Amino acid sequence: MTAMTDNAMPVTPRAIRDEMIVFAIMTLLLLIVPLTDLYPFFVMQALCCALLACAFNLLIGYGGLLSFGHAMFLGTGGYVTAHAAKVWGMPPEFGILVGVAASAVLGVVTGIVAIRRQGIYFAMITLALSQLIYFIYVEVPFTHGEDGIQGIPQGHLFGFLDLSKPTVLYYVVVANFLFGFLIVFRAINSPFGEVLKSIRENEQRAISLGYKTDQYKLLAFILSGTLAGFAGSLKVYVVQNASLSDVEVSMSGLIVLMTLVGGLGTVFGPVVGAFIIVATQQYLAGFGSWVTVIQGSIFVACVLLFRRGIVGEIAHFFRRSL
Amino acid sequence: MSISLPALSAQLLVGLINGSFYALLSLGLAVIFGMLNIINFAHGALYMMGAFCAYFLLNIWGIGYWWALLIAPIIVGIFGMILERTMLKWLAGLDHLYGLLLTFGLALIIEGIFQNYFGSSGLPYAIPDQLRGGTNLGFMYLPIYRGWVVVFSLIVCFATWYLIERTRLGAYLRAATENPTLVRAFGVNVPRMITLTYGLGVGLAALAGVLSAPINQVRPLMGENIIIVVFAVVVIGGMGSIMGSIITGFALGVIEGLTKYFYPEASNTVVFVLMVLVLLVKPTGLTGRAA
């Protein structure tokens, strides 16, 4: 394997300490956002995307598996949570739980199919699977087709946190994001993560050492899909709707782009990338479909000029792993 | 359930036509993958460019369908070769996935630009005079243009197969796919062959675009969905064999057509469902070499 692992570095205790420091800074920055002029809605949207990109990065950055269909998990988590909250009247904690469970099930089903091939085929298969899921959501009645599920009540988390209050919602989203981020962080620094990296580097070798690589890949896929679904469920309480645009191929592409811009296989890259891409979408909204052209150009520039991504370049400069 | 023969054959014909496009597109993908180790995500966008080329030729220079069949693939092929020389070339030796990402970006750029100037609606492209009308075959009415698309695509597919499997140039190509270093040592200009191969694959996509223009209109996003279906076709058929791509393409088109008749709700998803089934039974694809 070659450059998909540009950002690969051995994880030493020192690197973990660096990562802890950056994590502390990130947490602090997120906590003081309501005191600044930053628009909390923008930060919350970016955080949902960041969680999504972190989940995606777990697969590509550490397992070497490029999923071009992660929008299916985002959409599934979103639709199921939206339905649970609006039609079944579930409180947020159960709404999120149901959405996450649904994406986990989808992760198992699609994972069993997708991990049967590697590399380029894996990407095409996940893309086709997400298109299949897209067409299913177009047909089934509970998603309300083109209209989507609108006006979702935010409710009270655990009965006392009123999510319709912007500040409460903000801190709930931050807490959930940090929770999801730490799950990914824990996974990549665990023995499981080490095996995953060995599969990325040399799957045949890992097999010969006695690892059942298919099981590891499947587990990574399910974990990644579940967390992506978690991001989708969370997003429902932020934007209060769920629509087909979250399941579209362009969304899957956007997830790839965020991670690529930030740095494939870096811990914090997906977060940085998500903030940048969500910001470009906000500021360039007036340019209409030129946004697509700009995003395409970023793709091309990233692949041709800086494959390490922003965080990857910084880490490379300081010879650290971030 | 009573079967209405005219309706069934009409859907079968639609299936065959879609199958022609799948075959032409997956053939191009397979040829490109063989030489460049790149899955060309821009294939759908270049298919769309083929259709637009025909449209421009007609509406700006008054050049009709027959010349467009020749000129559009050449123009788009040259455009593809420029892309290969300026960008794709630099990915040699990197992980294959970067090729997918780069061409995905290119597809976004190309489709975005066309969408800016032409919106999302379709532009009409008339069927050439010689191919208007239709004949009654007794059990169904056959529009001549549609029959022509199927027959012409078959001819192009088999010509490509012949070129690659039976000529000297094709032999070089296959050899360079297996071992580029060795072929270079024999004095064959492999980088030029790679460029030409990309041009050929892209030209096939553009040709499919021209063929589809009178049937499906000319739309900036006409290639957006078809490329994903073609990816599924490629996963089902495997990219190891040229003939495999052709047969799988046509077969899946027909199956899709049959689904439109018997269970229309599933017509969008049937190819993907088949892909899942094939992966569960025979993960390497029907003609598959492992990759």
Interface membership of B95 toward A (CB under 8 Å):
yes
pLDDT, tens digit (0-9, with 9 covering 90-100), for B103-156: 999 999 999 999 999 988 889 998 888 888 888 877 778 888 999 999 999 999
All structural domains of chain A = 9-30+40-318 (1.10.3470)
Task: Give the chain A residue whose CA is nearest to the CA of B115.
Answer: A289
**Max CA pair span of chain B:** 64
- B residues 214..273 contacting A (CB < 8 A): 224-225, 228-229, 231-232, 234-235, 265, 268-269, 272-273
List chain B residues with CB under 8 Å of A291: 112
List chain A residues with CB under 8 Å of B232: 124, 128, 131
Interface-testing mutation among A121, A133, A298, with chain B (most B C-beta atoms within 10 A)? A121
More confident residue, A10 or A51: A51
List chain A residues with CB under 8 Å of B87: 300, 304
8 Å CB contact between A229 and A73 = yes
Interface membership of B29 toward A (CB under 8 Å):
no
pLDDT, tens digit (0-9, with 9 covering 90-100), for B209-222: 999 999 988 999 99
Alpha carbon of B132: minimum distance to chain A alpha carbons (Å): 35
Of A267-276, B148-157, B260-269, where does mean pLDDT reach its minimum? B260-269
Which residues have C-beta within 8 Å of that of residue A257, sequence separation ≥ 6?
A273, A277, A295, A298, A299, A302
Domain residue ranges of chain B, discontinuous segments joined by + = 20-223
Q: Which of A224, A206, A195 is nearest to A67 (CA)?
A: A224
Task: Give the chain B residue whose CA is nearest to the CA of A296.
Answer: B105
8 Å CB contact between B245 and B201 = no
Average pLDDT in the B252-279 region?
90
Q: What is the mean pLDDT of chain B?
A: 89
Distance CA A132, CA A147 (A): 19
Asked whether the CA dihedral B75, B81, B84, B86 is positive or negative, the reply is negative
pLDDT, tens digit (0-9, with 9 covering 90-100), for B47-57: 999 999 999 99
Do residue B98 and residue A4 have CB atoms under 8 angstroms apart? yes
List chain A residues with CB under 8 Å of B105: 295-300, 303
- pLDDT over threshold 60, residue A118: yes
Task: Give the chain A residue whose CA is nearest to the CA of B106.
Answer: A296
Report pLDDT for A13.
61
Average pLDDT in the B238-260 region?
89
- pLDDT over threshold 80, residue A297: yes
Task: Give the chain B residue whose CA is nearest to the CA of A121.
Answer: B235
Report pLDDT for B265.
84
pLDDT, tens digit (0-9, with 9 covering 90-100), for A138-186: 989 998 888 888 888 888 888 788 888 888 899 999 999 999 999 999 9
Do residue B268 and residue A138 have CB atoms under 8 angstroms apart? yes
pLDDT, tens digit (0-9, with 9 covering 90-100), for A284-294: 888 877 888 99
Average pLDDT in the A227-241 region?
94
Amino acid found at A80: V
pLDDT, tens digit (0-9, with 9 covering 90-100), for A74-90: 999 999 999 999 899 88
Of A229-238, B26-35, B71-80, where does mean pLDDT reach its minimum? B26-35
Q: What is the mean pLDDT of chain A?
A: 89
- pLDDT over threshold 70, residue A8: no
Q: What angle do CA B210, A124, B226 make, to 5 degrees?
A: 25
Alpha carbon of B286: minimum distance to chain A alpha carbons (Å): 14
8 Å CB contact between A309 and A254 = no
Amino acid found at A274: A
Which residues have C-beta within 8 Å of that of residue B177, sequence separation ≥ 6?
B34, B35
What is the band of A120 on the pLDDT scale with cuts at 50, 70, 90?
A: confident
Measured from the Cβ of residue A2, the count of other Cβ atoms closer than 10 Å reads 10
- pLDDT over threshold 90, residue B23: yes
- pLDDT over threshold 80, residue B286: no
Which residues have C-beta within 8 Å of that of residue B20, sequence separation ≥ 6?
B149, B150, B153, B154, B208, B211, B249, B250, B253
- pLDDT over threshold 60, residue B290: no
Element (H, E) at B130: none
Do residue A116 and residue B279 have CB atoms under 8 angstroms apart? yes
Do residue A138 and residue B224 have CB atoms under 8 angstroms apart? no
Alpha carbon of A23: minimum distance to chain B alpha carbons (Å): 29
Nearest CB to A296 within list B39, B93, B106: B106
Nearest CB to A119 within list B97, B105, B234: B97
Interface membership of B133 toward A (CB under 8 Å):
no
Distance CA B150, CA B143 (A): 11
pLDDT, tens digit (0-9, with 9 covering 90-100), for B160-205: 999 988 999 888 888 888 888 898 898 888 889 899 999 999 999 9
Which residues have C-beta within 8 Å of that of residue A263, sequence separation ≥ 6?
A7, A269, A270, A272, A273, A308, A309, A310, A311, A312, A313, A315
Alpha carbon of B291: minimum distance to chain A alpha carbons (Å): 8
Task: Give the chain B residue whose CA is nearest to the CA of A4.
Answer: B95
Report pLDDT for A1.
38
Print the SS3 string covering chain A. CCHHHCCCCCCCHHHHHHHHHHHHHHHHHHHHHHHCCCCHHHHHHHHHHHHHHHHHHHHHHHHCCCCCCCHHHHHHHHHHHHHHHHCCCCCHHHHHHHHHHHHHHHHHHHHHHHCCCCHHHHHHHHHHHHHHHHHHHHHCHHHCHHHCECCCCCCEECCCEECCCHHHHHHHHHHHHHHHHHHHHHHHCCHHHHHHHHHHHCHHHHHHCCCCHHHHHHHHHHHHHHHHHHHHHHHHHHHCCECHHHCCHHHHHHHHHHHHHHCCCCCCHHHHHHHHHHHHHHHCHHHCCHHHHHHHHHHHHHHHCCCCHHHHHHHHHHCCCC
pLDDT, tens digit (0-9, with 9 covering 90-100), for B69-104: 999 999 999 999 999 999 998 888 888 889 999 999
Which residues have C-beta within 8 Å of that of residue B89, sequence separation ≥ 6?
B191, B194
